[in-house]
Structure 1
Amino acid sequence: MSFDNKYIPLITGIAIAMGVLIGSKLNFSTNEAVFAKNSKKEKLNRLIDYIDYEYVDAVNTDSIVDVTVNGILENLDPHSVYIPESEYQAAADDMRGNFTGIGISFYVYKDSIAVIRAIEGGPAARAGIKPGDRILYADGKQVFGENLDRDSISEYLKGVKNSSVALTIKRSGEKKLRDVDVKRKTVPLVSVDASYTLTKDLGYIKINRFAETTPDEFKKALSELKKEGVSRLVLDLRSNPGGYISAAEEIIDEFLEDDKLILVTKNKNGEEEESFATSRGDFEDGKIYVLINENSASASEIVAGALQDNDKGTIVGRRSFGKGLVQREMSLGDGSAVRLTIARYYTPTGRSIQKPYSEGKEAYYDDYETRYNNGELQSADSISVNDSLRYVTPKGKVVYGGGGIIPDIFVPKDTSMEGETINYVSRNGTMSYFAFEYLDTHRIEFKDISQAQFIADYIIDDTVVEEFLEYVRLNDSPVMFRDYKDALKKAIKANLAQQLYGNNAFEFILNENDAMIEKILELERRPVKTPVKE
């Protein structure tokens, strides 16, 4: 089966879940003059009142307000966004890094809640809930059937800390239903996806976003790796969309010596605020590699830029997204909020890495396709730089502003159909659903297999690949991968491992023969040149 390369961007998917930079150290003091009466605000209020009380048809003015707010923000930068009340809690939980609930990951599978995994050490796991269990009732309320809604499910499973929920469980192979009382607790939303050793002294940590809990998660992972003898680290920030500036600063502080400049922020009045490394770093003497790609944004770029500008470590990969704007979340008083751009940030050499957005949001977010078409994802020589935005680090390294972090060592994107197959299907929802359904009927086979045994010895045979291809066909997927069985086997194995053992196993399997990691291992094998004494 052959494919025209022009279709590859469609298969990879170019939608980027953008992170927002909130919770920075900038001080935002409320100025009453900002909120004083003025004719512009009175005009909007009067129009809404006219519609409310005089318009001939019934109108939901709440929706009009939402449209108005979004319309205003459309005329600003691409990262000033409105968060309606219905979405606010989920967004807040994600950035806070935890929520109060029973601690399960689940699918709404067919007509019931199917448990994928109970979070280790969480309330559900302690209560004996297992993967594959179906939750039928919560406090006597039926939570199965044709009209099952995921949002309403969350209302029953989440709740006040230390409150209890009575669940009725159906377990495969058992005729009798189980009644289980689970006490809700604070459940972490993990931002460190993986942490393990690549060699005896080279560790690997992957961060998926920068939440409030990320620094503590990172320090715990780093501490465990150091106990194993790690003195060199790969920090994987690929496709990390960002998050809190403060979380990024704490991560950087682990690597930089005291008083090294981390970041400069500048507001509309030209007022600057600087942040510096402290004496708290636990890896200042260790060697650091940072992996980035075209989807690494905002806080990820702060980390890469601060290390690069301080001549610390090596940045490996492809040019990052290019987001150098700082947002602050502000309540609108009705449960909704706006994340408004309040400043720009600059790396220690003084460069802004914000890419232009004057051509509009569509062109801004279509930048991936532009990079693909101009060859930038395949060759570092195709990266366009502006000589007027040229900066030099203390040790003489030339770096550029104007749109993303350019890595020290470039690794091209695998745009072959097989490479794209791994990326697409391994992190695609269809594959995850297939893995769940496969385990649902084969779970007993994995009962006594440890994670280490699974990774080292478990083989996905051609029969399982054929099952997946049939599953995809039945779900009307337009993508066919029959010619790429090795890639499919790797993706299936990774997804099974994720549901059996967690994200660490998932990333470990997908990272086998990964081009960027292989490049670092190659660099590590090179002999260190020592100066000749005369």
Structure 2
Amino acid sequence: MSFSNCMSRRSAYSLAILLFFLCTPVLAENADDAKTATYKQLEIFSNVLSILQENYVEEIDTKEVINGAIRGLLFSLDPHSSYMPPDSFKDLQEETRGSFSGIGIEVTIKNDLLTVVSPIADTPADLAGLKANDTIIEIDGVNTKNMGPDEAIKKLRGPAGSSVTLSIHREGWDKLKVITLKREIIPIQSVKAEFLSPGFVYTRITNFQSHTTADFKEKLQVLQKKHQIDGLILDLRNNPGGLLNQAISIADIFLNKGTIVYTKGRREDQNNIYTAHDNGEKRMYPLVLLVNEGSASASEIVAGAIQAHKRGIIVGTRTFGKGSVQTIIPLPDGAGMRITTAKYYTPDNRSIQALGITPDVEIPFIACGPSADSAESTKLLKEEDLAHHLPGAPAARGVDQEKTARQLEARLQTDNQLRTAYNIIKSLTLYYDFNKTVK
């Protein structure tokens, strides 16, 4: 990088700091005094810009410098407030409506470091083994210090098939790990649902998109036509969040009444309470939610609501703790501004911000066992496998059912958190059936 480019960056950063102080309301005796002081400070900013335009060693791009000042202003407030140039703002809109090309990762600034919130399931980032709280030190050789999340995301995305190289640090590692990932089209399909065994449904939401709730309900309806649902596991692990209204409507599926989440901000219109509605379609079977340190934002809202109303059991590890509300404000030139306007609180008055949701059953993930694909190799030796064993009654289950059982056994061996959730949901179902019988 040339000296002049360094100076350009330094000037933009200085302007950002200056603009921060200029635009922050000062303590004045009354509103008129505050307004006068602000106008004076803005006049100073205008004078500084004019001096730079006339005297700086190279001709400056005024628009770029002012945009840099705005970026610095927002970046200095908190990790989630940011300025989005027109192309970044367009990317954000596409992300919630359609697919995008990248490595499938959500990032934030944590302790002044570019930090992984969560990789999206089955994306290049997930398959490469990136985890929540990994720090990204470099992107394609560029140091990420002082790099905002939106700028980082822009560097991480690119045409499908192109590559990006990351230098990663993880707690406990002695040195950085350098990995190269190939970008892919990241689909918007965010819901998966299937029977683990007859009556027991496993669902996974990878992020909250504009049609997540509709897809979730549709998949449950398809499964209900095949078999009665006796219990459901909702997997929100490594779900970085998404749209607030979708998180609320997912929680509403399982709640009859009461608060789902509420927000508190500085202004009255930023204080909102979101409640459940009795729409006659409640799924009141036993429920277990899986969460981990990669579950953030909208995921934490769902988990917090279910836990506060004692509607289900939360299993896993403490969630990320991203409990602030961002408001997106379009700007005239096609750019956008994301600013933090409030904080989320659970129905039992707990702040999610920086605290997260602590599971009812805390259990760390332990990688163990063979792959779920090698179901045959995981079959344990039983009486029926011994030579010359005594025959029993005719098998109650067919070949397909036996195969499904073996696959489930293999899957539970490789995922101890899912195994715990499955055991809990079976126990809850027995208790639920017992109570119905007694009554």
TM-score when normalising by structure 2: 0.58
Contact kept in structure 2, 1:328 and 1:342, CA below 8 Å: yes
Q: Work out the CA distance in 1 between the residues paired with 2:348 and 2:213.
A: 25
Contact kept in structure 1, 2:375 and 2:410, CA below 8 Å: no
Q: CA deviation at 1:513?
A: 3.0
Partner-residue secondary structure (3-state), 2:197: coil
Contact kept in structure 1, 2:242 and 2:297, CA below 8 Å: yes
**Cα gap change, 1:89 to 1:349, in 2 (>3 Å):** same
Does residue 1:196 correspond to 2:148, yes or no? Answer: no
Once the two structures are superposed, the pairs formed by residues 260-339 of structure 1 within 5 Å of their partners are 260-269=258-267, 272-280=271-279, 282-339=281-338
Contact kept in structure 2, 1:204 and 1:235, CA below 8 Å: yes
Partner-residue secondary structure (3-state), 1:330: strand
Once the two structures are superposed, the pairs formed by residues 93-242 of structure 1 within 5 Å of their partners are 93-97=94-98, 189-229=187-227, 230-242=229-241
CA RMSD of aligned residues (A): 3.8
Residue 68 (structure 1) aligns with: 69
Corresponding letter in the other structure for 1:343: A
Does residue 1:513 correspond to 2:414, yes or no? Answer: yes
Partner-residue secondary structure (3-state), 1:204: strand
Q: Work out the CA distance in 2 between the residues paired with 1:512 and 1:42.
A: 67
Residue 87 (structure 1) aligns with: 88
| Paired-residue identity, % | 32
Partner-residue secondary structure (3-state), 1:38: helix
**Cα gap change, 1:44 to 1:153, in 2 (>3 Å):** farther
Q: Work out the CA distance in 2 between the residues paired with 1:457 and 1:301.
A: 33
Corresponding letter in the other structure for 1:200: P
Partner-residue secondary structure (3-state), 1:528: helix
Contact kept in structure 2, 1:253 and 1:280, CA below 8 Å: no
Q: Work out the CA distance in 1 between the residues paired with 2:311 and 2:284.
A: 10
Contact kept in structure 2, 1:98 and 1:188, CA below 8 Å: yes
Partner-residue secondary structure (3-state), 2:414: coil
**Cα gap change, 1:252 to 1:55, in 2 (>3 Å):** same
Corresponding letter in the other structure for 1:347: T
Q: CA deviation at 1:75?
A: 2.3
Q: Work out the CA distance in 2 between the residues paired with 1:89 and 1:281.
A: 38
Offset from partner CA, 1:194-219 (integer Å, 9 cap, x none): 22111111111211111212111212
Once the two structures are superposed, the pairs formed by residues 427-438 of structure 1 within 5 Å of their partners are none
Q: Work out the CA distance in 2 between the residues paired with 1:456 and 1:412.
A: 24
How many aligned positions are there? 293
**Cα gap change, 1:41 to 1:84, in 2 (>3 Å):** same
Q: CA deviation at 1:511?
A: 7.0
Q: CA deviation at 1:49?
A: 4.2
Out of 513, 524, 528, the residue aligned to residue 431 of structure 2 is 528
Residue 146 (structure 2) aligns with: none
Which is bigger in relative contact order (C-alpha 8 A, separation at least 6)?
1
Contact kept in structure 2, 1:191 and 1:210, CA below 8 Å: no
Corresponding letter in the other structure for 1:195: A
Contact kept in structure 2, 1:204 and 1:236, CA below 8 Å: yes
Q: CA deviation at 1:286?
A: 2.1
Partner-residue secondary structure (3-state), 2:83: strand
**Cα gap change, 1:524 to 1:267, in 2 (>3 Å):** closer
Residue 412 (structure 1) aligns with: 364
**Cα gap change, 1:457 to 1:274, in 2 (>3 Å):** closer
**Cα gap change, 1:235 to 1:153, in 2 (>3 Å):** closer
Corresponding letter in the other structure for 2:77: L
In structure 2, the gaps of 5 or more residues are 1-31, 104-156, 162-184, 378-408
**Cα gap change, 1:72 to 1:228, in 2 (>3 Å):** same
Q: Work out the CA distance in 2 between the residues paired with 1:522 and 1:210.
A: 27
Q: Work out the CA distance in 2 between the residues paired with 1:80 and 1:340.
A: 4
TM-score when normalising by structure 1: 0.48
Corresponding letter in the other structure for 1:286: Y
Partner-residue secondary structure (3-state), 1:198: strand
Offset from partner CA, 1:293-341 (integer Å, 9 cap, x none): 0111111000000111111011111110112110001123222212100
Q: Work out the CA distance in 1 between the residues paired with 2:260 and 2:311.
A: 12
In structure 1, the gaps of 5 or more residues are 1-32, 107-149, 155-186, 356-402, 427-453, 460-507
Q: CA deviation at 1:76?
A: 1.3
Offset from partner CA, 1:491-521 (integer Å, 9 cap, x none): xxxxxxxxxxxxxxxxx99776311111122
Corresponding letter in the other structure for 1:72: L
